[in-house]
Amino acid sequence: MRTKPLPEPIPKALHPLPKSTSPILRTGSSAVVYHIPTTSTTDTSDDNNNLKTTILLPRYSTWSSGLHFHATHTEYIRLVRGAIYVRLGSRTMVLTCEEGEEEKVVTVPKYVRHDWGRAEWYLRQRRGVGGRRHDASPEVLGEDVVVEEWTDPRDLMKPLFFWNLNGVILNDGGGESAGLAVRMVRWMLGNWWVPFQLFVIFRELDNFPIFFEVLHLGEEDGVIPECVEHAIEYMVTYSVLFVAHVLAGHIGIRAVSEDRTPKDLWAEWRNREIAGP
């Protein structure tokens, strides 16, 4: 029996926009709206400071953050509205936030593998394959999901990541007006040109993807402990991103580009680079 195709998700920016942000909309089955900070003010005394990125996932969106970890930042994921799944280490939970309920905050320590997305999509995938029971109502599952993300330390890394990530994805990697070396590498990489630039962004802006999961290869006989499995996954991640970093350094590709970054954030980033640690 064929599964009825889902309606196309319709992304719409929040109104009013979160303070000091500008929206980026991505359409398609994994539709998402990023409300990303545009200024370099870093007032950490304000819990609603402008270094929070607000992410909206419309109904039927299959977007997920992808399984990844952070090496230099603790991340916070606050559910403001709707229902999400959060995979944190070896545990997956479904969180809901209905009108009048207290917002839920998940703390993601450094190096902990995590992933999140709409609970509606996650539960649909798990249906019939041992998915866990949940208490989420159909109404909350159908709502637009609104989530805030920020980090400790609260620096420019998160907004710079989202601006440059989306700049590459939406512009198909760019590079048409670049120098000869960049154009040659783009030609040689072909369809890998966009992933290559994303790898550079991932490494420099502390967002390390898990490219594949070992998936308990030694589970039956206990030969491969979970910590070793994770070490293998992390080694693959670091190796792939290091190769991309070396190649990018030779041809002048950087994670943060002026044409992808709001001017205030770019100026602050350049000032910090010039000043050094």
Assess if residue 52 is contained within a domain. Answer: yes
Pair 124, 171 in one domain: no
| pLDDT tens, position by position, 227-237 | 788 899 999 99
Pair 45, 146 in one domain: yes
Assess if residue 203 is contained within a domain. Answer: yes
pLDDT for position 130:
41
Pair 148, 171 in one domain: no
Average pLDDT, the chain: 88
Q: Select the more confidently predicted residue: 41 or 1.
A: 41
Give the chain's domain count: 2
| pLDDT tens, position by position, 234-260 | 999 999 999 999 999 999 999 999 999
Pair 198, 113 in one domain: no
Out of 118, 152, 186, a domain closes at: 152
SS3 readout for the chain: CCCCCCCCCCCCCCCCCCCCEEEEEECCCCCEEEEEECCCCCCCCCCCCCCCEEEEECCCCCCECCCEECCCCEEEEEEEEEEEEEEECCEEEEEEECCCCCCEEEEECCCCCEEEEEHHHHHHHHCCCCCCCCCCCHHHHHCCEEEEEEEECCCCHHHHHHHHHHHHHHCCCCCCCCCHHHHHHHHHHHHHHHHHHHHHHHHHCCCEECCCCCCCCCCCCCCCCHHHHHHHHHHHHHHHHHHHHHHHHHHCCCCCCHHHCCHHHHHHHHHHHHHCC
Out of 152, 175, 193, a domain closes at: 152
Residues 6+ apart with CB under 8 A from 131: 123
Pair 195, 73 in one domain: no
Residue 68 in this model has a pLDDT that exceeds 90: yes
Q: Select the more confidently predicted residue: 118 or 49.
A: 118
pLDDT for position 176:
57
pLDDT for position 126:
79
Q: Which two tokens stand for residue 92?
A: 């997956």
* Neighbour-count burial for 154-185, b at 16+ CB within 10 Å, e otherwise: bbbbbbbbbbbbbbbeeeebbbeeeeeebeeb
pLDDT for position 128:
41
Its domain, for residue 208, covers 165-275
**pLDDT class of 1 with cuts at 50, 70, 90:** very low
Q: Select the more confidently predicted residue: 1 or 156.
A: 156
Residue found by looking up tokens 């290869």 in the block = 217
| pLDDT tens, position by position, 96-142 | 998 778 889 999 999 999 999 999 999 988 774 344 556 778 899 99
| pLDDT tens, position by position, 175-222 | 655 678 888 888 999 999 999 999 999 999 999 999 988 865 544 555
Assess if residue 213 is contained within a domain. Answer: yes
pLDDT for position 186:
87
Pair 169, 146 in one domain: no
Q: Which amino acid is at 218?
A: G
Assess if residue 134 is contained within a domain. Answer: yes
Pair 147, 198 in one domain: no
| CATH number of 43's domain | 2.60.120.10
145-152 and 53-57 beta bridge pairing? antiparallel
pLDDT for position 182:
86
